Amino acid sequence: MKIGNREFQTKGHTYVMGILNVTPDSFSDGGKWNDRDRALRHVEEMLEEGADIIDIGGESTRPGYTLLPEHEEIERVVPVIEAVKAAFDVPVSLDTYKARVASAGIAAGADLINDVWGLKYDSWSRNGADAPGNGASGQGGSAMAQVIAESGLPCCLMHNRRDTDYRDFVHDVIGDLEGTLRLAEQAGIGRERIILDPGVGFAKSYEQNLEIIRRMGELGTLGCPLLLGCSRKSVIGLTLDLPADQRLEGTLVTTVAGVLQGAMFVRVHDVRENVRAVRMAEAIFAERVSGG
């Protein structure tokens, strides 16, 4: 899969996506990087530590987050995308679920759109809902899908839903993602441009988060590569009874789980340590990782 000017394997190796939050209220590093110069220094640091791609986000999606107006999110992310692309030769992902923000980010140089609502946010908003429902049918069209389709860029589409009324948890997650893939197909986004994310920490109980990490490999039946994003999340904090800034070891275990289940990417805050964990896991489990 080509992202920016780089070709990425979709199988046989796990790449590391470094997180750059340009927000004042992210759950783990809010306010640390929302100054342009500090953001660029942090990107330089992540690249030195081995990051393969940088994921830039302008709105926190932590539990209880405040919805950010589109113009304010654009004002946060566009200058940072432009600055990162000007300073570094690295693919840049934009973490947004809003079509107008995605469009502005693409114009600024974003190479991939990372949508935590799996193309469903704007379609339900137009239908009068205040937020997406579970959307297994994937009906109604999507402005975000159109923006991505017209750009020709790849995308990462995450599982999410408004309710947690699951009947058969993993089966329902797969069904929801099938709805996302239908929206992508309707807009003209080819499967070869799609990465799927099981959505750890979104619309899932503590037990369900553990289950989806353990069983994420089953999502491979959908025919798309996978991204796992567990870094510093509450499932780790609840398991180990630790605050966000002390969840590195727990994150590393989830990264190894991602490697063993064939994740194309892990999305992390602590790049150096996770790069090392990936390399070690791939060395130990080389035959399993390569599909042998």
Q: What is the dihedral of CA 25, 83, 53, 236, to 10 degrees?
A: -10
Is residue 19 within 8 A of residue 63, CB to CB? The reply is no
Query: How far are the Cα atoms of 13, 48, 49, 73, 257 from residue 285, in angstroms, in the given order?
Result: 11, 26, 23, 41, 11
Question: Please, where are the H alpha helices in 9-98?
Answer: 36-48, 70-87
Contact 101, 74 (CB under 8 A): yes
4 vs 45, 113, 132, 172, 262, CA distance in Å? Answer: 20, 12, 30, 33, 22
CA 61 to chain centre: 11
CA atoms within 13 A on the CB side of 182: 15
Are 112 and 156 in contact by the 8 Å Cβ rule? The answer is: yes
Task: Point out the catalytic residue in the list 233, 247, 279, 288.
Answer: 233
Is 2 an annotated catalytic residue?
A: no
Q: Is the dihedral of CA 264, 237, 232, 206 positive or negative?
A: positive
Q: Are strands 2-3 and 6-7 parallel, antiparallel or unpaired?
A: antiparallel
Choose, from 267, 272, 276, 279, the residue flagged as catalytic.
267
| 199 within 8 A of 212, measured Cβ to Cβ | yes
CB within 8 Å of 96: residues ≥ 6 apart: 57, 58, 59, 73, 77, 102, 105, 113, 114, 115
Active-site residue, 126 included = no
SS3 of the chain: helix, strand, coil, percent, to 5: 45, 15, 40
Q: Which residues are catalytic?
A: 233, 267
